[in-house]
Structure 1
Amino acid sequence: MAAAAELDDAPIVTIFGGSGFVGRYVAQTMARRGWRVRVAVRRPNEALFVKPYGVVGQVAPIQANIRDDASCARALEGATAAVYSVGVLYNAGANTFEAVQAEGPARVSRLAAELGVKRLALVSAIGADAGSPSAYARSKAAGEGATAESFPSATMLRPSIVFGAEDAFFNRFAAMAKISPVIPLVGGATRFQPVYVQDVADAVAAAATGAAQAGVYELGGPRIATFRELIELMLRIIRRKRMIVDLPIPLAKLQGAVLQNLALVGLEPPITKDQVLQLSRDNVAAEGARGLGDLGVSPTAMEAVLESYLYAYRPYGQYSRITEDAPGGPGR
């Protein structure tokens, strides 16, 4: 990490979405590599937690709206590198797939090129496809296409499901398992290749620092597993027995079409019709695609990380091991 006196000469990276799940890890990683980090977000006051990622003044949240040229240009002014790590899982008000994942990257890449930014990294997703039945996947493909057109030397990073302490995947199902005897799944046989969030951040940093060639990289961990197998792994780690029920796709589509309306009143829908469409396709790196290894990153196994944060969902939380090993305890 850079010393405070060295910051004046340090290069600048602007991270759009730098307070999000992946973005905050990118911010920490770039700070450790001695860069000045601008965390470009709509509400800087809600991103003050990023400031301790570096020495005083090294990491700063700044206001930027990805739907506004002027604020994005201010965020990019003088930056050597830019990272776009903004995404949504469902349409909610002005934050639609099209606005956030297609128009946003198009705007940032165009402005980055105009302002002389040297490198640009776009965090996309495996499954980005202009011909996909999923609007999410189509918007990711549109964002990649617009970025490649405006900034041909950009690096596109497509992770599978990203896991880590703040993830919205394992945490979500573990929380469900605490209160429900049944875990409903849509697409239980769909395959995923979960990738550790720090590995994704290291891949982004390789692109931002110029250590990666331009083009598309598909980021997956060392293990491919079905949705059901991932939930079974999670249940073993949190030491809970639950019934896993596969929901038929037609029924799930109907439920998603109804539940997605919760977003209209500001609530997070448990599933949407578009997410059902996504879950009907495998989410693994394509054979022959460039990946983490081509970026100098060794993928981290899920088993090496999951217990470090999922322990909180065990029957006795952090005291589960002590309780189980006690005389007369459930482990005896």
Structure 2
Amino acid sequence: MTIGLKQTVVLFGGSGFLGRYVARALCRRGHRVRVACRRPDLAYHLQVAGNMGQILPIQANLRYRWSVDRAVEDADHVVNLVGILAESGRQSFDAVQKSGARAVAEAARGVGAGMTQISAIGADAGSKSRYARSKAAGEAAVFEAIPEATILRPSIVFGAEDQFFNRFAQMSRFSPFLPLIGGGKTRYQPVFVGDVAEAVADTVEGKVPNGRIYELGGPEVLTFKEMMEEMLRVIGRKRRFVTIPFGAASTMAGLMRFLPGAPLTEDQVELLKSDNVVSEEAKAEGRTLDAFERMPRTLDAILPTYLVRFRPQGQFTQPQPQAGGLDAENQDGLA
């Protein structure tokens, strides 16, 4: 396996949010990138991230092993970015995040390629969340096939195309209320997508010890409520916060179970009960972004670059100097 520049790197799930940044980071370093996804036509937008011919979309589906084997032919390194937050049809947690990760790892082993697996903070075989259990099972499957693989567990990832801050900012345009499940006390360590992408590129180039699990978090630990307050400050709006107890949220999610594109699932409510921050063990063992010698970027530095469109008058609206959220009992003034 070649170590250094001009490797052939296969990105499974490379057409998604994180994938576009990983592809760009690898192209800037001179690598050839093969983007393996179910619909290659959805990856054509990535081709402008590299030079002519540097990025090649290819069809692959983790549920069909032959397509995985074909995608990794002659590869030097394989990166598995595939993950789902909610199940849909045949796209179950076990099929995608457990069996899919195993298929990619075994295919990479078959061609002698290195591997980087993207997991998530909170992956735990003993969790009550099926999402978290499948992530842990995927990690185990990868290490079983390739003991020297590298696994990255980011906290919540933010950036211009994210489905977190964009979703709640969009909601704030029409709704006078923003929900706080469980009171919004769950803690997160939001990490910028560009920092995660550069960390992935570093693992491809062997710049950090492999065979380890790295936990990637940004420079700030914030509660869900504090993240909402920061988002509202950036977009210059004030909205009421309404607390939804976990029990009520689970009931609501259960009632929405059969709706197409349900905004909340029971499994996601279970995830919200646990903090999503870098562990003390990872800090003590140097398994954080510090290992990549990278200064992570803050929410304050990045959010205004893409949430400006949600301000009342767009870029002509100045952000509020203070947090913009209002508790239900403190309802003075709505923008």
TM-score, reference length from structure 2: 0.90
The aligned amino acid for 2:146 is: F
Alignment of structure 1 residues 1-16 onto 2, 5 Å: 10-16=6-12
Output one character per residue of 1:84-131: Cα deviation in whole Å (capped at 9) or x when no partner.
Answer: 0011110101111111111111000011101111x2100100000000
Point out where structure 1 has 5 or more consecutive residues left out of the alignment.
1-8, 323-332
Match of 1:76 among 58, 72, 82: 72
Displacement of 1:59: 0.7
Match of 2:292 among 295, 305, 311: 295
Alignment of structure 1 residues 94-173 onto 2, 5 Å: 94-117=90-113, 119-173=114-168
The aligned amino acid for 1:186 is: I
Specify the alignment match of 1:278 in structure 2.
271
* Percent of aligned pairs sharing the same letter: 50
Asked if 1:228 is matched to 2:219, the reply is no
Match of 2:235 among 225, 238, 243: 238
Displacement of 1:10: 2.7
Number of aligned residue pairs: 309
Runs (4+) off by over 6 Å: none
Displacement of 1:258: 1.6
Match of 2:311 among 292, 297, 314: 314
The aligned amino acid for 1:65 is: N
Displacement of 1:134: 0.4
Q: Distance in 2 between matches of 1:168 and 1:258?
A: 23
Alignment of structure 1 residues 9-48 onto 2, 5 Å: 10-48=6-44
| Partners of 2:169 and 2:232 within 8 A in 1 | yes
SS for the counterpart of 1:156 is strand
| Partners of 2:236 and 2:317 within 8 A in 1 | no
SS for the counterpart of 1:46 is helix
| Partners of 1:81 and 1:209 within 8 A in 2 | no
Displacement of 1:43: 0.8
Displacement of 1:66: 0.8
| Partners of 1:195 and 1:219 within 8 A in 2 | yes
Q: Distance in 2 between matches of 1:204 and 1:283?
A: 20
| Partners of 2:35 and 2:55 within 8 A in 1 | yes
Displacement of 1:257: 1.2
Q: Aligned-pair RMSD on alpha carbons?
A: 1.2
Output one character per residue of 1:219-258: Cα deviation in whole Å (capped at 9) or x when no partner.
Answer: 0000000000000110111111100111001000101112
Q: Distance in 2 between matches of 1:205 and 1:260?
A: 38
